[in-house]
Structure 1
């Protein structure tokens, strides 16, 4: 599941109302995280030769970091610059670690993270609880969770969005909690966004929101936003119809993610 678009007027839903709940004990995301994520606009455009301004590359994320830091968004709380799918090489390195595509991210992810940090911003990255990402890149199966969590920490990443393509419900039930433990074990504070409930229909009894709040800072409940008003309204309607379940699940450090921030210019 994916999300993102440059914000200007934030659509606030009842699902992110603050209530007293037990949250993941990493001290992060006490308020709903805000920032920018590439997917909704840029998708999996990797053709940097023909489309250099819009392809998934370090240049795109540097440009967006400049916009957040120079155009006033950072002061409004928009501090995350999040990479989505299609950032990696098609192969892990010789040590079994994920690696960025060398042509599109020649400086590496750690250098990009430091670019963000120098500007008072945070870097988010995308992974997938499965054999492959939704875009067909290397995923994180159960036996790779620890090494991938440590790799993200070594790169000084600040947030992980963990998707669920190419995995089943049994693997997800094991993998999402394991990644939470693995991230915490690195010693680096990394916000954890889980797509798990979106793959389980978003509602109890299949989704246990008490458990989610103990392992995740943020979670996707519903499908991806598309570039249409009908898509926006379908998400609004779903959250409205299920607010009695969703609102009590949210609070400091644990948030529903409706996959939308709306711009009106």
Structure 2
């Protein structure tokens, strides 16, 4: 009831230029909190399921001790609702002190000591989708440096409460800011999902130059209808999506939930056929056994 793995599509060849940070030459694989744990912050009444330091260290232990790390599942990714509701006195983001008493930097050390990588979440708007402090345009350089100081390995940049103009400026600016820190941080952009996922609003050549992966479509939900809508959309648009993908630049159809999420049965049943239909490689738990 605890495991979520990234779902990514790629092609083995392509002509697009990749983001020049040397990262994610193959699609990242790991565990992401959102679909199962959402924004549960009630650690007093629900300590096993709340977004907290213990949740992420527990999941890290499972990846490291149960054989997942050796199969390539090395990312442990924090999603929304991790931060304090206020920035610190220097204007920096800070973790909620009750739920993350060690802080994010120590949490990254915990991951690295086990051969894992830590991912974190931010949002371009004034607030995240869950209502926590965002990373608007005037905070991009500060927050990028904060993530680097914390030795984070991956950053997902969402787009709630931002408009098209802000996104056009902000996603490339964050790419430059992350690279300028000197720390290798994989960059996940939600930009195309907020612009319909297709040209002319979405420029996949540009995305490949600034992002390591990008969300094209809406969030997966715990239903077969949600799974089917994602499968259908990617199938219908492969002529656009497949050429955009390659080493260092990946389409991201979202995660797959295991095993207490009802939709998982359908991902298993359709996984191999989907990879054939789309002329692309699909990376998820199914592939471990296929």
Q: Shift in Å at residue 17 of structure 1?
A: 1.6
Distance 1:11 1:77 in 2: 13
1:17 corresponds to: 11
Q: Does the CA-based 8 Å contact 1:5-1:260 persist in structure 2?
A: no
CA distance in 2, matches of 1:140, 1:6: 26
CA distance in 2, matches of 1:92, 1:124: 20
Q: Deviations over 1:207-260 (max 9, x none)?
A: 000000000000000000001122111101100000010000000000000002
* Residue 11 (structure 1) shift: 6.4
- Residue 4 of structure 2 corresponds to 6
| Superposed CA offset, 1:133-186 (max 9, x none) | 000000011000000000000000000000000110000000000000000000
**Where do residues 38-117 of structure 1 align in structure 2 (5 Å cutoff)?**
38-117=33-112
Distance 1:141 1:27, change over 3 A: same
- How has the CA–CA distance of structure 1 residues 26 and 42 changed in structure 2, closer, same or farther, with 3 Å as cutoff? same
1:6 CA drift (Å):
2.3
Q: How many residues align?
A: 258
Q: 1:95 to 1:130 in 2, by over 3 A?
A: same
The reply on whether 1:252 has 2:247 as its aligned counterpart is: yes
Q: TM-score scaled by structure 2? A: 0.86
The 5 A counterparts of 1:66-215 are: 66-215=61-210
Aligned counterparts of 1:230 and 1:185: Cα–Cα separation in 2 = 42
TM-score by length of 1: 0.95
Q: Is the 8 A contact 2:36 2:257 kept in 1?
A: no
Which ranges of structure 2 fall in alignment gaps of 5 or more residues? 259-263, 266-290
Cα deviations by residue, 1:91-113 (Å, 9 ceiling, x for unpaired): 00000000000000000000000
Q: Distance in 1 between matches of 2:255 and 2:239?
A: 20
Label 1:226 to 1:158 Cα distance change in 2 as closer, same or farther (>3 A).
same
SS of residue in 1 equivalent to 2:168: helix
Task: Structure 1: give runs of 5+ residues left out of the alignment.
Answer: none
Match for residue 211 of structure 2 among 203, 216, 225:
216
Match of 1:62, SS? Answer: helix
State how far apart, in whole Å, the 2-side matches of 1:193 and 1:129 are: 13
1:230 counterpart = 2:225: yes
What RMSD, in angstroms, separates the aligned Cα atoms of the two structures? 1.5
Q: Distance in 1 between matches of 2:138 and 2:69?
A: 37
